[in-house]
Amino acid sequence: MTRIHPPAIPSDLPRALPPTPGFALRSALLAGGMALFTAASAQSQPAAALAPATFPAPSAQKTEQFMLSNGMTVIVKPDRRAPTAINMLWVRVGAMDEVDGTSGVAHVLEHMLFKGTPDLKPGEFSRRVAALGGRENAFTSRDSTGYFQQIPARRLEDVMKLEADRFARNQWDDDEFKRELEVVKEERRMRTDDNPRSQLYEALNATVYQASPYRRPVVGWMSDLDAMTADDARAFFQRWYVPANAAVVVAGDVDPQEVRRLAEKYYGPIPARAVPARKPREEPAQAGIRRIEFKAPAEQAYVTLAFKVPGLDSLATQTPANAQANADALALTVLSAVLDGYSGARLDRALTQGEGRVADSAGSSNGLYGRGPQLFILDGVPAQGKTPEQVEAALREQIAKVAREGVSESELNRVKTQWVAGEVYKLDSVMNQARELGGYWVQGLPLDSGERLIERLRGVTAEQVKTVAARYFGDDQLTVAILRPQPIDKNRKPRAPVAGVRQD
């Protein structure tokens, strides 16, 4: 099945929702639709005609957006099917806004926002939300940082007051910072240092990207964490946590006018400040294939191929400069689904089945959009007696086959039908609705991007898929990473969880 490749997933993953907009879109759109399609494909019938009207919309109430006088954006999506509400605060700052030497500070600061204000002691924010009958957490990605609470709708004012307080007045002492920094280091050890594939992707990103800040891990390099000070986090907070760089997203059993009143009451008094200018950090053109090998204790080898591809930067305004790239980004997303979007798709059939089987598993994913450059990923685990090089060749051959022969209309309709179903049914979750709206805001996309995206994907043709397969998969776009397994120490005990580390 189609998976989101590790470079698109932040290192900080103890959270209850996917962090990045790209991740949110692809996991909900592809994985959500896939569950429906797997059941349907068992009937071995042709894909149904694309008819979105056959899927009931979860909520017909209009999404509203307005801006406070200090520049903060507020987005409200009523959905009255249950007496609950989601309150989210999105800040358009993530790991890509860090500077060398302080990698991981965006994520560390996210942890510190739970550590107090002049009126709240460390940990009291979480205790108060729990006492209200709610749950809460946060996430950091390359592109953004977010905080959320799910609460009974009647408690919305309480959490908006709490969230506004810590956004404006977060504070903690140096000892509290030192304790929490050790928690973050342990997260890194558990999720990256003890995971060979996570280490491989960390090394891959650092090789793929030369200028882009996407080369740094979200959780940070351990040497940077070792050197990080409380003042590094405080400076990052003062620089980026300004009203004009943030959005409040509220979804659920709420009244837009009441949300506006509460936002003006609690967020409105926060002084306006300018958002710092961001300098462009364009990735230079690659000239030739790049390869890395990573040795680590593991049971199986693993190979991943990362191709640089265009990302989607607009669903509204098309210019001569971006029209081709936007069209290609959508066609690449369809190509990924053709390769790996359902049980028995092309990679599954060609690489993991039959006498010519070379892999135990094989996959594909496309980074549709983000604030930085995007990748198309192919990956696989060699079958017994096969090498990573054989899997690499087989993966590239499947792309070359599409470039030579194209794809059938039935294949195309199959994945498109899956997308339509997934797009609609994922919005049964109020959390997904809020997450999607916040993600679109981070990327500067219109709030109806979900609907626009489906319409654009419907229009992707078989010829466009064939064209992008021929255009973007040469050596000058490619970085290959291979995990070479080393013997595993059978006597090594698993790392024991450390108090304070949030679990998946």
DSSP-assigned states of every residue in 170-213: ----HHHHHHHHHHHHHHHIIIIIT-HHHHHHHHHHHHH-SSSG
Element (H, E) at 109: helix 105-112
DSSP 63: P
DSSP-assigned states of every residue in 335-391: HHHHHHSSTT-HHHHHHHSSTT--EEEEEEEE----SS-EEEEEEEEEPTT--HHHH
**Angstrom distance (rounded) from CA 332 to CA 328:** 6
**Angstrom distance (rounded) from CA 498 to CA 372:** 33
Neighbours of 277 (CB within 10 A): 5
Radius of gyration for the chain, computed over Cα atoms and rounded to the nearest angstrom: 23
**Dihedral angle, C-alpha 313, 139, 33, 37, nearest 10 °:** 130
- Helix intervals (H) in 228-282: 230-240, 256-266
Neighbours of 344 (CB within 10 A): 11
**Angstrom distance (rounded) from CA 164 to CA 142:** 23
Tokens for 296, please give them.
């680590």
Residue where the block lists tokens 């460390």: 122
List the 64-67 sheet strands across, edge first: 64-67, 73-78, 246-252, 84-91, 145-152, 135-140
Tokens for 97, please give them.
């806004």
**Angstrom distance (rounded) from CA 361 to CA 442:** 34
**Angstrom distance (rounded) from CA 500 to CA 65:** 36
Q: Is 110 a catalytic residue?
A: yes
**Angstrom distance (rounded) from CA 401 to CA 389:** 18
Catalytic residue among 110, 136, 163, 392: 110
DSSP-assigned states of every residue in 83-95: SEEEEEEEES--G
**Pairing verdict, β 302-309 and 290-297:** unpaired
Element (H, E) at 418: helix 409-426
Under 8 Å between Cβ of 388 and 396: no
Task: Write out the catalytic residue numbers.
Answer: 110
